[in-house]
Amino acid sequence: MTQVDVLLGLQWGDEGKGKIVDVLSPKYDLIARFQGGPNAGHTLEFDGKKFVLNTIPSGIFNEKTMNLIGNGVVIDPIILKRELDNLKKAGHDPIADGKLVIARKAHLILPTHQLLDAANEARMGKNKIGSTLKGIGPTYMDKTGRNGLRVGDTTLPDFKERYAKLVEKHTEILSHYEGFEYELAEKEASFFEAIEFLKTIPHVDSEHYVNGFLKEGKAVLAEGAQGTLLDVDFGSYPFVTSSNTTTAGACTGLGIAPNKVGAVYGIFKAYCTRVGGGPFPTELDNEVGENLRALGHEFGATTGRARRCGWIDLPALKYAIMLNGVTELIMMKADVLDTFDTIYACTHYEYNGETIDYMPYDIISIEPKPVLKAIDGWATDVTKITSVDEIPAKLTEYIAFLEKELEVPIKFLSVGPDRAQTLELR
């Protein structure tokens, strides 16, 4: 019997999960997404090509790897169809190749879930979450509210009636948002067209499917979306997404028992970013932050929004490592710091007149101030290095400093967006 390895983000998302899942996928028989939905944008680059995946697991470009969209994921059939159509245009057809399956128990995002997301955000004005407007929150609300529609429902004879009943509830709610105008007919037509398409992807029970792989001794990797600090329970609530982005989410989002979890890969940037609203203690709302954004091309893969940038936040990373039981770390985008003579790491926070080394409960009304440690930069282009011996001494020192602070080894170092720009450190 094998175990499920988990790869997930330790910050506020966009750490580079897609790239690393793609790099690791040859070692796995199955890659499984376990939560989130098309709010995710996972970027992969290889052979001069670039792909952004929203719903489809990032193992899709590896020839022998199966890909599962798990029960914890919320699915917008229109976006999923578009993703698969685009892949087909680029010469990849996972359905024809039998490389993609989808959980019957995964919930569906309806066009009205998106409208509810938009209406909610509009009403909150400047206090809005800054959601991706993909309908994620309202869909998970219907899931836990026991109203949702699932992938498996699409093949039931009364699917259209079930759909109509839920939409009636949604339009009733929308009528209370004064001045919120919307058009539904056109979106509904695309939705039902996409539902027919969804039926062509094999539906499975993810709990039996994944455990079946384990029983056969096959290797499984669970791919997280978003990041730990966006977790609905442990993130910077309410500025979070609506699912458990942590390792525990892989258990509920796929149907595996906690003792089936193997290695946990925690992935982080050599600095930090956040997109959308909410606290961000190490944010650099200045020229340095703009510089990081330009050098790191920090614009959302899903929404195109400018990402907020700041220094690495060690109290937040330690918290994420604890919550996830991280066994190995992966550091991304070291190359983005190539031109800095000095870089900084937040080691503590000043909070309410005290120096603390943990994330306090209320970081919304009292934002912690970072205590920064200056670190020599390596001031060398690392994008072309291909072996560990070529890593500049100052970057090796930065890695050693982080490993000492975080008490977990850094296994991989990423020095550019391409698949090939990845170094295995141990």
Binding-site ranges for Mg ion (CB under 5 A): 14, 41, 301
CB of residue 42 to ligand IMO, shortest distance in Å: 6
Residues facing residue 20 across a β-bridge: none
Which of residues 2, 3, 29, 45 is near ligand GDP by CB under 6 A?
Answer: 45
Which residues within the stretch 314-333 sit at the binding site for ligand GDP (CB under 6 A)? 332-333
Which of residues 120, 131, 211, 324 is near ligand IMO by CB under 6 A?
Answer: 131
Which of residues 7, 18, 32, 72 is near ligand GDP by CB under 6 A?
Answer: 18
Its sign, for the CA torsion 168, 170, 173, 178, is negative
Please write down the HEC assignment for all residues of the chain.
CCCEEEEEECCCCCCCHHHHHHHHHHHCCEEEECCECCCCCEEEEECCEEEEECCCCCCCCCCCCEEEECCCEEECHHHHHHHHHHHHHCCCCCCCCCCEEEECCCEECCHHHHHHHHHHHHHHHHHCCCCCCCCHHHHHHHHHCCCCCEHHHHHCCCHHHHHHHHHHHHHHHHCCCCCCCCCCHHHHHHHHHHHHHHCCCCEECHHHHHHHHHHCCCCEEEECCCCHHHCCCCCCCCCCCCCCCCHHHHHHHHCCCHHHEEEEEEEEECCEEECCCCCCCCECCCHHHHHHHHHCCCECCCCCCECEEECEEHHHHHHHHHHHCCCEEEEECHHHHCCCCEEEEEEEEEECCEEECCCCCCCCCCCCEEEEEEEECCCCCCCCCCCHHHCCHHHHHHHHHHHHHHCCCEEEEECCCECCCEEECC
**CA-based end-to-end distance of the chain:** 26
134 binds, among ligand IMO, Mg ion, ligand GDP, none (CB under 5 to 8 A by kind): ligand IMO
333 binds, among ligand GDP, Mg ion, ligand IMO, none (CB under 5 to 8 A by kind): ligand GDP
* Nearest CB to ligand GDP, comparing residues 41 and 137: 41
Which residues within the stretch 400-419 sit at the binding site for ligand GDP (CB under 6 A)? 414-417
Which of residues 17, 170, 203, 308 is near ligand GDP by CB under 6 A?
Answer: 17
Q: For residue 336, state whether it binds ligand GDP (rule: CB under 6 A).
A: yes
Angle at 212 between CA 211 and CA 213, to 5 degrees: 90
Which of residues 228, 241, 324, 422 is near ligand IMO by CB under 6 A?
Answer: 241
39 binds, among ligand GDP, Mg ion, ligand IMO, none (CB under 5 to 8 A by kind): ligand IMO
- Return the active site residues: 14, 42, 143
Is 302 labeled as ligand-binding? yes
CB of residue 254 to ligand IMO, shortest distance in Å: 17
Q: For residue 114, state whether it binds ligand IMO (rule: CB under 6 A).
A: no
Select the residue whose beta carbon is closest to ligand GDP and give its number: 43
* Nearest CB to Mg ion, comparing residues 5 and 223: 223
131 binds, among Mg ion, ligand GDP, ligand IMO, none (CB under 5 to 8 A by kind): ligand IMO
Distance of alpha carbon 155 from the chain centroid: 29
CB of residue 375 to ligand IMO, shortest distance in Å: 26
Is 70 labeled as ligand-binding? no
CB of residue 90 to ligand IMO, shortest distance in Å: 20
Is 18 labeled as ligand-binding? yes
Which residues within the stretch 376-405 sit at the binding site for ligand IMO (CB under 6 A)? none
Sequence ranges of the binding site for GTP: 13-19, 41-43, 307, 333-335, 414-416
Sequence ranges of the binding site for Mg(2+): 14, 41
Positions in the binding site for ligand IMO (CB under 6 A):
9, 12-14, 36, 39-42, 129-132, 134, 136-137, 225-227, 230, 241-242, 275-276, 301
Positions in the binding site for ligand GDP (CB under 6 A):
9, 13-19, 40-43, 45, 296-297, 301, 332-333, 335-336, 414-417
